[in-house]
A and B are shown apart, each in its own frame.
Chain A
């Protein structure tokens, strides 16, 4: 597997959409290619850091205001 082929499989690898033999190929590639090993590790961290950190607050006051506004609009429409 080349580095380009590795990259093309990366998303399916993370999302668990790869067949067993391709998973083995990906794993074998990162064992011998330190650049791709870093790319895999830091891309995985990129995904997890965005998943774990809530970027925008949604305080109760905002939720209450938004909820009331939505229901008001919908009740006018019905």
Chain B
């Protein structure tokens, strides 16, 4: 039987030391954290805003805010989760400023039953990767996730694209775990339903 680990011997995340050094004013340590997470932060922002220029701005703002608020980071969560939370807030704020966006709050979208009940029961044969080339498949995936309400898109991005745990996703979004689970189910089912339009036929590609 394996020995039970005491909390003291729990593995300490390497970020903890980097954050401690950065708090002391060690710029190289902060730069190392930037290097580790700039890609992820940019990707999260791009998924939420669906805009590359916005994502660049948001990534800069998010790291600047993190740098300014390092003292407030208590280490109760992972540094990366804390950083993602800042980037998500910046991204949603950016969406709110856009006149074209219908809904931008994490609390909206929930009332809709759209896509909550599966309607398409055709199998995906052959596999989407066999049906479409890489570029065409990428275009379908981008277009489909773009059509998802921002609140659902954000939950799906953190949990399923970035592979954050349910608890980390809840923390990054300021939602409860049950709220994350319910949004995640809706997001997954809506995406599945929309992708089925492209993937369910047995030959050729849909041009709809």
Q: Shortest distance in angstroms between B36's beta carbon and chain A's nearest beta carbon?
A: 11
Of the candidates A49, A50, A65, A73, the one whose C-beta lies within 8 Å of that of B63 is A73
- Asked if A43 meets B64 with Cβ closer than 8 Å, knowing A35-B121, A58-B43, A67-B35, the reply is no
Binary interface encoding of chain A residues 1-35 relative to chain B, with 1 for a CB under 8 A from any of its CBs, else 0: 00000011011100101000000000000000011
Chain A contacts of B188 at CB under 8 A?
10-11, 43, 46-47
Complex: A52 Cα to B188 Cα, angstroms: 15
B189 touches A43 (CB 8 A): yes
Chain B contacts of A41 at CB under 8 A?
123-124
| Chain B 55-97 interface residues, beta-carbon cutoff 8 Å to A | 55-56, 59-60, 63-64, 67-68
Interface residues on chain B, size class = 35 or more
Q: Does B145 contact A (CB under 8 A)?
A: yes
A42 touches B196 (CB 8 A): yes
Complex: A51 Cα to B158 Cα, angstroms: 11
Complex: A35 Cα to B120 Cα, angstroms: 9
Binary interface encoding of chain B residues 148-170 relative to chain A, with 1 for a CB under 8 A from any of its CBs, else 0: 00000000100011010010000
Q: Shortest distance in angstroms between A76's beta carbon and chain B's nearest beta carbon?
A: 9
Chain B contacts of A78 at CB under 8 A?
25, 27, 67
A70 touches B60 (CB 8 A): yes
Complex: A47 Cα to B189 Cα, angstroms: 10
Stretch at the interface among B6-14, B101-109, B136-144: B136-144
Of the candidates A50, A62, A71, the one whose C-beta lies within 8 Å of that of B145 is A50
- Asked if A53 meets B124 with Cβ closer than 8 Å, knowing A11-B185, A70-B34, the reply is no
Binary interface encoding of chain B residues 5-36 relative to chain A, with 1 for a CB under 8 A from any of its CBs, else 0: 00000000000000000000101001100110
Q: Shortest distance in angstroms between A1's beta carbon and chain B's nearest beta carbon?
A: 16
Give A contacts to B, CB under 8 Å: 7-8, 10-12, 15, 17, 34-35, 38-39, 41-43, 45-47, 49-51, 53, 55-56, 58, 62-63, 65-67, 69-71, 73-75, 77-78
Nearest 8 A/B pairs, CB to CB: A11-B185, A46-B192, A35-B121, A74-B67, A70-B63, A73-B64, A43-B192, A39-B118
Beyond contacts A47-B188, A56-B142: 9 other A-B pairs, Cβ-Cβ < 8 A, are A11-B188, A49-B137, A50-B145, A50-B191, A58-B39, A66-B60, A74-B30, A74-B63, A77-B68
Could you list 23 A-B pairs, sorted by A, with CB under 8 Å?
A7-B117, A7-B118, A35-B121, A39-B192, A42-B123, A42-B196, A43-B188, A43-B192, A45-B124, A55-B141, A55-B142, A65-B56, A66-B60, A69-B56, A70-B38, A70-B59, A70-B60, A71-B34, A73-B63, A73-B64, A77-B64, A78-B25, A78-B67
